[in-house]
Structure 1
């Protein structure tokens, strides 16, 4: 995922190692020049670029394995729903007015240590309930990115460490975004997100 140019591209499996060596400034192997030449011809790799590198470093993404569930119905407070709506409106406007790289950078690094304690769940469940309460205002179809950005921001404001994950399917091509705490999906269903291969987290 090229966050600076806001685009996705699929690198052939045999070229992947050469691209990673280039990214990590490691010594090139004999076939790397040929492989990277193929990427240069399509604009994926450029040379003599004066602009500093602004994309994110490759990160390890924890595969989703469970989802946030309510043992008892969570009380939905109007103030929480109003905050969720405000966060979503801000995210929706931001996507249209700011480069994607800046938005993702503001979200901070991926959380390596999941908050899965009972105390964390006591804060997560009301946030999840608040976002469900806004589905009548903000449609869920094709709005997964602003909803997930907003969800993470609201979690951050509550002191919760979560990760925004972006995944894709190839045939046909489709992209999706959701929020995880470790391997637990917070704002979507495990069944849905398992259809996508995670390629980025923030």
Structure 2
């Protein structure tokens, strides 16, 4: 029997261990050591016995299907932060849009499932064909940095990232919303990135995390 990764799951390898994001249930998790090694063997393309396949299915990680192992999430490593580029002017309309967008994102996260919000962002397919307008991205980054003077930014990475990605889409520029994780201790982070440049999310923080889901 052929297996595929269960719908709604994304994953990455962090410090040698598989970490999963179940978007429908809004939770991150790891597998017990033996099952983790079994999953990594399957994900690398190794042929498994019927007993091992049954163990993976019983864990809820896989389901019958022809898709085969889904690759781990990946994205270009970030090396620049557009929010700290000097000489970018602040636009009051951009600032207002950043603040309003974060209020809307916070409200949406209280009222709607995360998976539904992410699905609405992922509807905008073909992002790779959008222009890479770094001047516009710098202005968006500047507006979101300044917005922290008016509303709390600490522990608000998800609504900030959602609002920033929505703004990038509204303005028709190429970007991606990323979810990342780290272990020991476990933590998660969300940010917006365009190529190797962080738009919203703080480069020094982003470097600590491994992408587990990329939304474009």
> What's the TM-score once normalised by structure 1's chain length?
0.77
Q: 4+ residue stretches of structure 1 with deviation over 4 A?
A: 43-47, 56-59, 109-116
Cα deviation, residue 127, structure 1: 1.1
Q: CA deviation at 1:103?
A: 0.8
Structure 2 stretches lacking a partner, 5+ long: 1-20, 65-69
Go from structure 1 to structure 2 and tell me whether the alpha carbon gap of 1:2 and 1:105 turns closer, same or farther (over 3 Å shift): same
Deviations 1:15-48 (A, max 9, x none): 1343687xxxxxx93336426526625x54578x
CA contact (8 A) 1:65 1:183 kept: yes
Q: Specify the SS of the correspondent of 1:195.
A: coil
- Could you tell me which residue of structure 2 aligns to residue 8 of structure 1? 28
Say yes or no: does 1:98 pair with 2:107.
no
Q: How many residues align?
A: 183
| Residue 174 (str. 1) matches residue 187 (str. 2) | yes
Among 98, 101, 107, which residue is 2:121 paired with?
A: 107
1:70 alignment partner in structure 2? 85
Q: Which residue of 2 aligns with 1:40?
A: 58
Q: Which moved more, 1:1-10 or 1:157-166?
A: 1-10
Structure 1 equivalent of residue 49 of structure 2:
31
Provide the TM-score with structure 2 as the length reference. 0.73
Aligned residue in 1 for 2:140 = 127
Higher strand share: 2
In 1: Cα distance, 2:119 partner to 2:71 partner: 12
Measured on the aligned residues, the alpha-carbon RMSD in Å equals: 2.8
Aligned to 2:202: 189
1:53 aligned partner: none
CA contact (8 A) 2:42 2:48 kept: no
Secondary structure of the equivalent of 1:200? strand
Deviation at 1:63, TM superposition (A): 2.3
Change (3 A) 1:38 1:113: same
Give the distance between the partners of 1:190 and 1:153, measured in 2 at CA: 20
